[in-house]
Structure 1
């Protein structure tokens, strides 16, 4: 899966949302807003909001190198995915409590 980062143009008074375009193995593409990056058990994960009119949130593993390039990693273990999703839901319930 390849990811390309692009900017979303908005009015100056609005907070600029970071948007990336995901390209899947079948050639399909999806623009996604980066909701945030969070930690679970010492590893980083990213929550994405696809621009598809749904209220879905996609969660991937996240790795960034020293130069700022990043890679999204599928979470293939169901138990790990469920644990990461619970952590994300916990953060969303009370975001102020989970800020560092």
Structure 2
């Protein structure tokens, strides 16, 4: 199942949200980053609570990211465990680099 992100204006770019329709209902997410791993693009989404605040558990969703024929952003599930592990490892590297840069 592919989810479709809503295009935003440049003024909204710092506060982009994606709504996912999951089996247990909808969840609004903030985009953390879009990154490359093994020549594919992925997106890291931070689920928000009912008040629009970041979750305290640190939970992050990873999806494959691409643009459709019309240039609109799209996401889809990562089906392979190996592909998911490669994306998760790369995301962890990005987090480590960011933490190191903050020191």
Q: Please state how far the C-alpha of 1:67 moved relative to its aligned partner.
A: 3.7
1:48 aligns with 45
Q: C-alpha separation between the residues in 2 aligned to 1:84 and 1:44? A: 9
2:26 aligns with 29
1:58 aligns with 61
Check if 1:39 corresponds to 2:24: no
Q: Please state how far the C-alpha of 1:65 moved relative to its aligned partner.
A: 3.0
Structure 2, unaligned stretches of length 5 or more? 50-54
| More helix as a share of residues | 2
User: Mapping of 1:68-83 within 5 angstroms?
Assistant: 68-83=71-86
Structure 1, unaligned stretches of length 5 or more? 8-14
Task: Mark the CA change 1:6 to 1:32 in structure 2 (over 3 Å): closer, same or farther.
Answer: farther
TM-score by length of 2: 0.72
CA RMSD, aligned part only?
A: 2.7
- Runs of 4 or more off by more than 6 Å in structure 1? none
Number of equivalent positions: 90
Pick 1 or 2: higher relative contact order, CA cutoff 8 A, min separation 6: 2
TM-score by length of 1: 0.74
CA deviations 1:57-92 (Å, max 9, x no partner) are 100000113643121111111111111100100011
